[in-house]
Amino acid sequence: PILKVDKGLEPEKDGVQLMKPIPGLNDLLKRAKDLGVFGTKMRSVINMANAKGVKEIVDQQFEIGKQIIAAGLIPILEPEVNIKSPEKAEAEVLLKRYLLEHLNTLGPDDKVMLKLSLPSVDNFYKECIDHSNVVRVVALSGGYSRDEANVILARQNRMIASFSRALLEGLVYSMSDNDFDTSLNASIQSIFDASKT
């Protein structure tokens, strides 16, 4: 299991939204470890290509990530780049630079996962995927439709889906059990197929 540990986002500053403080994190991580939790997830958002803001996002993700590693869990670091940002590609350049800087400071046994927005340039995060400290790089759908997200994901080598919004697309409460299952199964299969490259 994966445990969401963040407490939401701060208001935007310097083009980004940092995570709010996470009180009691050490106690939470100890309980999670005792219960057999594999890792944690925590999300922050990058809206603009502001170097100061993007660096603060990555600094915060890794600072808390190291606390999670020390507790014996695998952190999923999720610095989401807003897909509607007019500076999305430029923000991704900054994000990758700071991710690699931090990854290169980790000890050989320190492992993280990265959950990133689908990139503007195909295979842009290859260096992160290949990094010895990275267990896996997964993609968030970030507001793309499922079809759009699948097309972009299929072009990314060794990046797999961690879609939520796109997974649930088209599912409604009024569906019969059979229609719901059929729709969900088709969604899962399409996302799985897009993840196989």
Select which of 56, 78, 80, 92 is catalytic. Answer: 78
CA distance 36 to 4: 14
**pLDDT in the model for residue 164:** 86
In angstroms, how far is CA 166 from the centroid of its own chain? 14
- Walking along the chain (197 residues) 10 residues at a time, the average pLDDT comes out as 97 98 97 97 98 98 98 98 98 98 97 98 98 98 93 97 90 95 94 93
Residue 115 annotated among the catalytic residues of the structure: yes
CA distance 191 to 185: 10
Question: What is the reported pTM?
Answer: 0.94
Select which of 55, 88, 96, 115 is catalytic. Answer: 115
Which residues, other chains included, contact 13 with Cβ-Cβ below 8 Å and sequence gap of 6+?
Answer: 53
**pLDDT in the model for residue 64:** 98
Residue 90 annotated among the catalytic residues of the structure: no
**pLDDT in the model for residue 117:** 98
Q: At CA 39, angle to CA 34 and CA 45, rounded to 5? A: 140
